Structure 1
Amino acid sequence: MAFAFAHARQPATPQPATPQPAALSDALPVPPAPEPSTSAAWLLMDYTTGQILAGENIDMRREPASITKVMTSYVIAAEMAAGKIKADDPVMMTENAWRQGGAGTDGSYSGFPVNQTAPLVQMEKGMVVQSGNDAAIALAEHVAGSEQAFAALMNAYAKRIGMRNSHFVNPHGLPAEGHYSTARDLALLGRALIRDFPEAYAYNKIKEFTVGPITQPNRNVLLWRDPSVDGIKTGHTSSAGYCLMASAKRGDQRLISVILGGSSEKQRASDSQALLNWGFRFHETHKLYDAGKQIAALKVWKGEGEQVALGVAQPLLVSLPRGRYQQLKPTMDVPKALVAPIAKGQEIGTVKVSLDGKVIAQRPLVALEAVEEGGFFARLWDEFWMWWESE
């Protein structure tokens, strides 16, 4: 535990477990993010905390193009985890999927033969690595019976993830009325896929995939340029522009970048690389409190015990500019008088962490133990002292 509170109701100075002198360069202000010059919307997110480190037009509705297939991957992984489909299911490349998304169309395709089956996991790799529209349609039909029914699943899972400004009408991302998302929502989607289904996410770092006589490369050129990059997905249509959602992990830190509406394949890659490099160079992630560990104690009136231990139910982490850790200020908002009984896990107050006067993270404080109501005379005595202190 990196931080400690001197008193339950007073802010305390952060106390690093192993203080290290800051590098001379860390004392300098963080330079502005390398803003993509031609993109309609973009952002950079810290994966661990979900904090947005930089961005512009992050809630603007945009066509996500083939980044849509990340949502398709999430639905497939979730349905598989629920036992509704299996990795070795035979998936038919129907005539509809072949005609709407196959080689005879303008978009990318996987090349699976029409009216033949392939194992679901192979069909999914054809969708993820080759960005096959035909594979996306075939998978949607297998999972839900039709593209329309599958889109309903996509929207239901998107809502569960927290994508508040997205709506999907197909599994592949070709232009369609009412099919949209945002940079923020797509970053949340990428974060959810990495967190919830790492095995499915791992398909995104496969550099090439072969179907029959055809071998196609992954369109994410960052996989070749930067060994820390392991995903996520490219997209392009004439109306959506050039899009790229990328993720990289260096040491214990992972970042997610989103570029929407770029001007070229080269531009979306170079802008994504610049954002990732900037994020890793100038930001770091710290765990401040472990889940279930005491960070403070608060007096309890009318209880069998005199105090209750407080902590957080989930780890509290923050992303911040490098060299600023010792400038973090933790505070707690707790009741002036806490009266038993108290249940284990009951929310008591809030712990907040600020930098430069701005709250950058907060979590509910919960009781780490139950405190039962005291006996009659104990409660009567505490009633007197509560009255006395209130005067």
Structure 2
Amino acid sequence: MGAPFDSCRLEPVLFLRYLFSSASLTLLALSISTPAFAQYNSAAPHAVIMDFETGQILYEKNARQPMAPASMTKIMTVEMVLEAIKSGNLSLDAKFTVSEEAWRRGGTKSGSSTMFLKLGSQVRVEDLLRGAIIQSGNDACITLAEGLAGSEDGFAAQMSARAKTLGLESATFRNSTGWPHPEHEISAVDLASLSRHLISEHAEFYPIYSERSFTWNGITQSNRNPLLGKLTGADGIKTGSTEASGFGLVGSAKRGDDRRIIVINGLANKAERQAESLALMEAAFSQFQIYNLYKSAQVIGEVDVYMGKSATVPAALGEDIKMGLHISQRGSTSAKVEYVTAVAPIAKGDKIAELVISAPGKDTQRYPLFATQDVKAKSLFGKAWTSLLNKIRG
């Protein structure tokens, strides 16, 4: 087997600067430079743009700080219900009873978003889902929580546990509605990731988020999402607002094969939320792109082999590399191959180098490079002769 990769003894051997075009990526052996670029700046205190296909964060502003999510919490509440349906533990036709607790804290007299459920009535899960998604009904969410877990506190504990299994490390839920609580929080990045999961894993239910209104108990309420009907491709997902959180939105839109998810929070009013959500989503499509940098199995360079029958071995990637960038970053993205001299014998598939890609404002990305062929070691005579020559050459 080849020598293990030692990141502490890396010797840079090739510096590549990328010049992008609409059709291809041209690589030139130039020194790395980082010209200034005009990055987008959201007016929201918390903001993120995520590419749906890759999950890459295209833009972020205070996006990893836990924040009060208000009714955007209900994305997690709905995910819990849909997961129960998917697993076969719940059906859309199942009925839950509206308790006094749900009616008192989430009903007409609560002063909060409500579905206008009647105390003691039995309501189908499918209707409760629409009440939670379209009408943002707190009574609908509490009824679902009690129906699934016996109590809202128990359901909130399950929400937090589920969030951790989904990798949402910032998330702690204390209720099903987003009602203010000092320990109830999640970051904008994790809200985007949660939404990506819901859209991907529960695609058959996602169209509910684009329904413009829902009527219950003779009362029709409109979907609060300010993107619907105003932005091309918009089809979700959830607004939220409390005094603690300010006005926020998780939005999603699809144009052609591209889908973007945005999260904003902390704005002063509905007008600011609408203006910033429209601006950020337009920027998500017009100012940010996913660039296909390399293909899997593409040979990146040649790595020197010590004591091998071949002096070098081609090094190739094991995966496609895509990177989301602001369009102004195209000319300042750079790459280099880092490696240590590999010692024969080397087997095809051995890790022998790393490709390091850098872009301004983004974390450096490292990708392993693998030998594309076997390299046998020299014979004992060959090794001795090579050692002698190396001594003569100093």
2:318 aligned with 1:312:
yes
CA distance 1:73–1:383, shift in 2 (3 Å): farther
CA distance 1:88–1:297, shift in 2 (3 Å): farther
**Aligned counterpart for 1:148 among listed residues 130, 149, 153:** 153
Asked whether the equivalents of residues 253 and 284 of structure 1 are also in contact (C-alpha less than 8 Å), the reply is no
In the alignment, which residue of structure 2 is the partner of 1:354? 358
Which SS does the other structure have where 2:108 is aligned? Answer: coil
CA distance 1:296–1:78, shift in 2 (3 Å): farther
TM-score (norm 2): 0.77
TM-score (norm 1): 0.78
Asked whether the equivalents of residues 120 and 139 of structure 1 are also in contact (C-alpha less than 8 Å), the reply is yes
Q: Structure 2 stretches of 5 or more lacking a match?
A: 1-11, 27-34
**Aligned counterpart for 1:365 among listed residues 353, 363, 368:** 368
Which SS does the other structure have where 1:104 is aligned? Answer: helix
CA distance 1:208–1:293, shift in 2 (3 Å): farther
Q: CA deviation at 1:303?
A: 10
Q: CA deviation at 1:326?
A: 5.9
2:41 aligned with 1:62:
no
Asked whether the equivalents of residues 58 and 182 of structure 1 are also in contact (C-alpha less than 8 Å), the reply is yes
In the alignment, which residue of structure 2 is the partner of 1:176? 181
Q: Distance in 2 between matches of 1:347 and 1:116?
A: 63
Q: Distance in 2 between matches of 1:66 and 1:295?
A: 49
CA distance 1:134–1:254, shift in 2 (3 Å): same
Q: Structure 1 stretches of 5 or more lacking a match?
A: 1-7, 22-27
CA distance 1:283–1:17, shift in 2 (3 Å): closer
In the alignment, which residue of structure 2 is the partner of 1:219? 224
More strand by share: 2
Instruction: Output one character per residue of 1:342-368: Cα deviation in whole Å (capped at 9) or x when no partner.
Output: 696x76553332236x76562532659
Structure number with greater Rg is 2
**Aligned counterpart for 1:10 among listed residues 14, 21, 24:** 14
The alignment's C-alpha RMSD in Å is 3.8
Which SS does the other structure have where 2:323 is aligned? Answer: strand
Deviates more, 1:378-387 or 1:41-50: 378-387
In the alignment, which residue of structure 2 is the partner of 1:44? 49
In the alignment, which residue of structure 1 is the partner of 2:208? 203
Q: CA deviation at 1:58?
A: 2.6
In the alignment, which residue of structure 1 is the partner of 2:294? 289
Q: CA deviation at 1:128?
A: 0.8
Q: CA deviation at 1:311?
A: 2.5
Q: Distance in 1 between matches of 2:382 and 2:13?
A: 20
Matches within 5 A, 1:333-344: 333-337=338-342
Q: Distance in 2 between matches of 1:79 and 1:390?
A: 68
Asked whether the equivalents of residues 173 and 184 of structure 2 are also in contact (C-alpha less than 8 Å), the reply is yes
Deviates more, 1:321-330 or 1:182-191: 321-330
Which SS does the other structure have where 2:265 is aligned? Answer: strand
2:94 aligned with 1:121:
no
1:184 counterpart letter in structure 2: V
1:160 counterpart letter in structure 2: T
Q: CA deviation at 1:65?
A: 0.5
**Aligned counterpart for 1:244 among listed residues 249, 252, 264:** 249
Asked whether the equivalents of residues 99 and 143 of structure 2 are also in contact (C-alpha less than 8 Å), the reply is yes
Which SS does the other structure have where 2:183 is aligned? Answer: coil
Residues paired across the two proteins, number: 369
Q: CA deviation at 1:138?
A: 1.7
